Amino acid sequence: MTMPSACSRIVRFASPISFAVLGLLALTGSGGCDGERSAPVVSPPGGRASEYLLTTQPSDPASLTQTAEELSGAEGSPSEPNAAREVVLIGKIDAGDFPAFQDGQATFMLSELPAAGHGLDDPDHEDNCPFCKRRAEQAPKAIVSIVDPDGNAVKTDARELLGVAQGDRVIAVGTATYDKSVNAITLQCSGVYVGK
């Protein structure tokens, strides 16, 4: 099975060793303003409270493509190229044929959601629709690393910490950068809202 070139670059980039490097890169920014969250916290299905789970859906989440364009300083975007900034991302926990989660860390991969009103409720739609397949192949991925208020990577597996699984739709809030060479957003995440 051949992989699209952009996806294969992400996969090579997102190998376990690269996840460790990305974790170190993610530590260079802050965990958010004053380390406070505007939304209350809830318990994941395992019953353990997680200060990183948001109960209120953040407003105006952006797609991975839109966020990458803004972070890369594309024409008309408010950002300087490669500048880290606060973002609200929406996506699906997925890394294609590879594991979406980094074992032992609160780190996972996000993929672009299908276009609004176009197969959002069908998990197999993207595999069967040429439009969605092409869109997904060209879209950036996001490497989401949950960090504590001091900016340190959380060492608890994201599945345990947040009660999430492969294929879940989430909204992640934090500070992001974009690496055009691998078409990937790196997000130092301070909170996650899990879609229903």
The structural domains of the chain, with segments of one domain joined by +, span 5-194
Q: How far apart are CA 42 and CA 48, in angstroms?
A: 9
**Mean pLDDT of the 171-185 span:** 96
CB within 8 Å of 71: residues ≥ 6 apart: 77, 79, 81, 82, 83, 85, 87, 176, 177, 178, 185
End-to-end CA distance of the chain: 33
**Mean pLDDT of the 60-70 span:** 95
| pTM for this predicted structure | 0.71
| DSSP element (H, E) containing 174 | strand 169-179
* Coil, strand or helix at 152: coil
pLDDT given at position 147 = 95
Could you give phi then psi for residue 170, rounded to 5 degrees? Answer: -135, 160
pLDDT given at position 79 = 54
Q: Which fold is adopted by the domain 5-194?
A: OB fold (Dihydrolipoamide Acetyltransferase, E2P) (2.40.50)
Q: How far apart are CA 121 and CA 117, in angstroms?
A: 9
pLDDT higher than 60, residue 69: yes
Q: How many helices (H) and strands (E) does the chain have?
A: 6, 6
CB within 8 Å of 152: residues ≥ 6 apart: 27
**In this structure, are residues 97 and 1 in contact, taking their beta carbons and an 8 Å threshold?**
yes
Residues 71-87: pLDDT tens digits? 987 555 555 666 789 99
**Mean pLDDT of the 165-188 span:** 96
pLDDT given at position 123 = 62
pLDDT given at position 131 = 79
Could you give phi then psi for residue 127, rounded to 5 degrees? Answer: -75, -25
**In this structure, are residues 192 and 89 in contact, taking their beta carbons and an 8 Å threshold?**
no
Residues 90-143: pLDDT tens digits? 999 999 889 999 999 999 999 998 876 666 566 666 667 887 778 778 899 999
Residues 6-55: pLDDT tens digits? 443 443 334 443 443 343 333 333 344 434 444 444 444 444 457 999 99
